A and B are shown apart, each in its own frame.
Chain A
Amino acid sequence: MFQKLIAESTAKSPWLFHINSGSCNGCDIELVAILTPRYDVERLGFKLAGSPRQADIVVVTGPVTKQSLNRVLSTISQVPEPRCIVTMGSCPQSGNVFKGSYSVCAPLSQYVHVDVDIAGCAPKPEAIIDGLAKATKILKEKRGRM
């Protein structure tokens, strides 16, 4: 019963940690937009955490530049299990317009397992909320497997 309670709670209280890997700030602004009164994801229990140690969901934006690759990977590794990695915007999924550049390492999925991709440049807040809701389900599953 206690395990079930924890699994339920995991789905209801996902804390986000946001990593910018060279993004143009479009996605970053949209991510902040979902905290505003209009969309208010806090009603679903979402909260922006200040440190990766406290996070459940890591949101990566930007095309993962060479400079930031190791930093992104090490920060992701510092997030405790169960964790869920979400890429946001087209950049970390494909490299978007930066694809082929010598300094861009996208897609991120070649380095770590990515759970949810939220497409768009930049994605609409509704899309982000949908993606994050999917991520919470995955999170609950992962917790159940632990």
Chain B
Amino acid sequence: MIQFNYIAAFFLIVLGFYTIVTKYNLVKTVIGMSVMDYGVNLLIITIGYTPGGTAPIFTAGELTQASYFVDPIPQALTLTSIVIGACVTAMSMSLVIRLHESYGTLDTREIRRLRG
């Protein structure tokens, strides 16, 4: 079952790349970036996941040899990654708004003053 997660994660990443490369709308580009982020998050969570494991929350003395829990580090990493993803989205959306103000369009093919 867990293979589907990996496939889905890489599918999302590739879908994000696809969106960024082929869509000429700035907002869609931002969506592509978010999709890419979610793919990575899914990948991280999947890596830490162990079938049947419990949450990695223990108090002193409770932890025994038989304890079976998911890897906590990827979860921490995911949190960081989600925060960063949100920041990226916020920042890029704010840039999109300003770009729309000054260029009057959201088409990437027209936003190319800097070239050559």
Indicate whether A and B are direct neighbours in the complex (CB within 8 Å).
no
- Chain A interface residues (CB < 8 Å from chain B): none
